[in-house]
């Protein structure tokens, strides 16, 4: 084994590098993104037992599962949005695998979100964060810690008569991250990468529209972002290799320097 990989394996074994799982468990009550009735919605996650060491299969246990590509902790590929449909290698099976791995910059807005469920991250907020921590690097993951992943039941979607109330990106923040910082993509703890009220923004769903329009990725329904340092970790987020896939549930792992 090469030195660098041997050192990495040794560091993982000794705790010098910790693995933090940023993934929510897929369950039949995993919340799915709510859409107005005129649009087709996604299947929830379902699990169907095939056999469990019984007369259906005496020595083996296995299940069928079904869900939409955008269920639970999942990856959004550029082809997911009409603005990203014409890029080359924009689907889960064709994205170059190197692109799934990158440094993570974790912006903590949990305090703001506790005061205002509709909090939007602005470019000014990000630039203040950069003064305190570090300038966001090109080809990095920008993860927004909101502590939304700690919410249970109805509090997670936080639906009202006028739609969902959950945090997201100000429309001005997405071009800033996509163009001026040229990031790989964003990751959030909410059910999707856009704010709950983003259907009414200009443009509508700015994170999907502008991030995928810039050939960037999204990660939704992350958790454990409170266990990451602001800078210095590496995130691996490789979706299932679904042919022509617009996204998929996935396991998102962060490599974090130990104590």
Q: Which stretch binds Mn ion (CB under 5 A): 74-82, 84-92, 178-186, 232-240?
A: 74-82
**Residue with the two structure tokens 């082809």:** 79
x/- letters, 76..115, toward Mn ion (CB under 5 A): x---------------------------------------
Q: Tell me the closest approach of the beta carbon of residue 5 to Mn ion, in angstroms.
A: 33
Question: 230-243: b or e for each residue (b if 16 or more CB lie within 10 Å)?
Answer: beebbbbbbbeeee
Q: Would you say 78 and 250 are in contact if contact means Cβ atoms under 8 Å apart?
A: no
Which range of residues in 10-18, 46-54, 70-78, 145-153 is near Mn ion by CB under 5 A?
70-78
Catalytic-role residue among 70, 74, 80, 170: 80
Q: How many chain residues touch Mn ion (CB under 5 A)? A: 2
For 127, the token pair is 């630039």
Q: Which residues pair with 233 in a beta bridge?
A: 104
Residue nearer to Mn ion on the CB measure, 75 or 129: 75
Strands (E), 94-176: 101-108, 120-121, 141-145, 159-160, 163-164, 168-169
Nearer to Mn ion, 174 or 255 (CB): 174
**Which residue in the set 17, 23, 31, 70 belongs to the binding site for Mn ion (CB under 5 A)?**
70
Listed in sequence order, the DSSP H helices in 76-210 are 110-115, 123-132, 154-157, 173-175, 206
Between the alpha carbon of residue 163 and those of residues 29, 81, 189, the distances in Å are 20, 21, 18
> 164 or 255: whose CB is closer to Mn ion?
164
The interface region with Mn ion, picked from 40-48, 53-61, 71-79, 171-179 by CB under 5 A, is 71-79
The whole-angstrom separation of Cα 194 and Cα 248 is 17
CB of 215 to Mn ion, least distance (A): 16
Mark whether 133 is an active-site residue. Answer: no
Nearer to Mn ion, 238 or 256 (CB): 238
Query: Are 23 and 251 a contacting pair, CB within 8 Å?
Result: yes
Question: Which residue, 72 or 103, is less far from Mn ion as judged by CB?
Answer: 72
Give the nearest distance from C-beta 27 to Mn ion in angstroms. 18
- Binding stretches for Mn ion (CB under 5 A): 70, 76
Q: Just list the catalytic residues.
A: 80
């Amino acid at each position: 084994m090469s030195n660098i990989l041997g050192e990495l394996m040794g560091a993982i074994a000794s705790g010098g590098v910790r693995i933090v799982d940023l993934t929510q468990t897929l369950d039949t009550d995993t919340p799915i993104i709510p859409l107005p009735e005129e649009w087709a919605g996604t299947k929830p996650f379902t699990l169907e037992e095939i056999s469990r060491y019984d007369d259906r299969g005496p020595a083996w246990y296995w299940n069928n599962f079904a869900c939409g590509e955008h269920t639970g902790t999942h990856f959004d590929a550029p082809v997911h949005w009409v603005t990203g449909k014409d890029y080359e290698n924009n689907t889960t099976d064709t994205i170059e695998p190197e692109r799934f791995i990158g440094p993570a910059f974790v912006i903590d807005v949990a305090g703001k979100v506790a005061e205002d469920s509709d909090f939007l991250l602005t470019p000014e907020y990000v630039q203040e964060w950069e003064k305190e921590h570090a300038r966001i690097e090109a080809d990095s993951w920008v993860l927004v810690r909101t502590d939304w992943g700690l919410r249970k039941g109805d509090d997670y979607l936080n639906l009202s008569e006028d739609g969902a109330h959950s945090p997201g990106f100000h429309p001005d923040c997405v071009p800033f991250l996509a163009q001026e910082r040229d990031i790989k993509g964003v990751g959030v703890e909410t059910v999707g990468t856009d704010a709950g009220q983003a259907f009414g923004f200009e443009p509508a769903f700015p994170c999907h529209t502008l991030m995928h329009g810039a050939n960037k990725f999204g990660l939704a329904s992350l958790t454990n972002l409170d266990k990451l340092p602001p800078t210095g970790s590496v995130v691996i987020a490789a979706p299932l290799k679904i042919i022509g896939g617009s996204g998929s549930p996935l396991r998102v792992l962060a490599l974090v320097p130990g104590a």
